[in-house]
Chain A
Amino acid sequence: MSGTELGLAASVFLACAVEAVEALTIVLAVGTTRSWSSALAGAGGAAALLAVLVAALGPALTSLPIDVLRVGVGGLLLVFGLQWLRKAILRAAGLKARHDETAAYERESQAARSAARAPGFDPYAFTVAFKGVLLEGLEVAFIVLTFGANQHHIALAALAAALAITLVVLAGLALRAPLARVPENTMKFAVGVMLTSFGTFWGAEGAGASWPGNDAALLVIVPALIAIASGFVVLTRRGSRVAAATAAPAAVSGS
């Protein structure tokens, strides 16, 4: 397996694991409080729809000319990657609340308990589980498609995604609780770095640029982006501390 393929598989695995943890919390909440059969049917239906989406769009994407594919894929990966990275940096700097799976589980369970209940098939549990898995999985499906199509390795990307989902589901079954101790923000930071790095590399190549050292340029882009993003965490955290320190005396003198 080449370095690029390894990067592809690792990025898809991490992205899929993070979204699977969030989807698992929703399915667990409605399954436990409402109906396991309806919740699992909803989750299974959404997973099947996502698989159909990847299977249908994958061959269409791989038939596009390579430069068109690289510009499109690079652009999409850059937009997704920078959004993931931005959120992860803001969370690491303390300016955005971290995703708390235990709190999310409590919120979903509370809402599920207060919703109307009917005997037999539970449309509420089905719909919430379906929407949860579909929405959390849609971005991952696009990551699988874009990464996989560009490298002509949709099967490898799909395998990495399936492995991540299997591991998260097995961990959820073993614990019978939301996976609150998974370092979600660190994983999101890593996914943001990988998506942005590959997006930068492929986007520039697709637009006609040539990288010094060809594929080896990725070995510089990834560590450089990790350093830059870590620097942004420090700067953003320091900026918010300075703002809080200057606001506190002003509040005291103003009171």
Chain B
Amino acid sequence: MSALRSVLRGVFEFVVGDDWRIALGIVIALAVTALVATSALAAWWVLPLAVLALLGDSLRRAARSARR
């Protein structure tokens, strides 16, 4: 059981990396893109905007914690 848990933890850390908010944000942004794409609106702008926001927010938090 502990071996399975450590494998799952390893996979999680490998995929998600240092900031889980980025991974969560990407999943949400892809879902929003799919949702907007079903409407009459253009949907291509959602991911670039999400990338900008997620990277900026992650850097801001990392910089703040590095200065402490």
Interchain CB contact under 8 A, B22 and A82 = yes
Q: Chain A residues near B38: list those with CB within 8 A.
A: 208
- Check A90/B22 contact, CB under 8 A, given A200-B48, A209-B44: no
Q: Count the A-B residue pairs with Cβ separation under 8 angstroms: how many?
A: 109
**In the complex, which residue of chain A has the Cβ closest to the Cβ of B32?**
A207
Q: Which residue of B lies closest to A233 (CB)?
A: B59
B residues 1-39 near A (Cβ < 8 Å) are: 14-19, 22-23, 26-27, 30-31, 33-34, 36-38
CA distance A212 to B43 in the complex (A): 10
Contact A209 B33 (CB under 8 A): yes
- What does the 1/0 interface line of A225-255 toward B look like (CB < 8 Å)? 1001100100010011001100100000000
Residues of A near B55 (CB, < 8 A) are: 82, 85-86, 89, 228-229, 232
Is the beta-carbon distance between A76 and B43 smaller than 8 angstroms? no
Q: How far is the CA of A207 from the CA of B55 in the complex (A)?
A: 21
Of B27, B36, B48, B59, which one neighbours A86 at CB under 8 angstroms?
B59
Given A83-B18, A90-B63, the answer on whether A78 and B26 have CB atoms closer than 8 Å is yes
The size bracket of the interface on A is 35 or more
Q: Which residues of A contact B48 (CB under 8 A)?
A: 200, 221, 224
For B58, list chain A residues within 8 Å (CB): 82, 86
Chain B residue numbers with a CB within 8 Å of A243 are: 67
State A75–B42 Cα separation when bound (angstroms).
Answer: 19
- Closest approach, in angstroms, between the C-beta of A198 and any C-beta of chain B? 12
B37→A209 contact, CB < 8 A: yes
Q: Bound state CA distance, A83 and B22, in angstroms?
A: 8
A139 within 8 A of B: yes
With most chain B CB atoms within 10 A of its CB, the pick from A76, A83, A139, A247 is A83
Whether A76 pairs with B15 at a CB distance below 8 angstroms is yes
Q: Which residues of B contact A95 (CB under 8 A)?
A: 62-63, 66-67
17 extra A-B contacts, CB within 8 A, seeds A79-B23, A240-B66:
A71-B30, A78-B47, A86-B18, A86-B59, A87-B18, A89-B55, A90-B66, A138-B14, A207-B33, A207-B34, A207-B43, A209-B33, A211-B44, A212-B42, A212-B44, A225-B51, A247-B67
- What 7 A-B pairs have minimum CB-CB distances, sorted nearest first? A208-B37, A209-B43, A83-B17, A207-B33, A207-B34, A95-B66, A209-B44
9 contacts between A and B (CB under 8 A): A82-B55, A86-B22, A96-B62, A200-B47, A208-B43, A209-B33, A228-B55, A229-B55, A232-B56
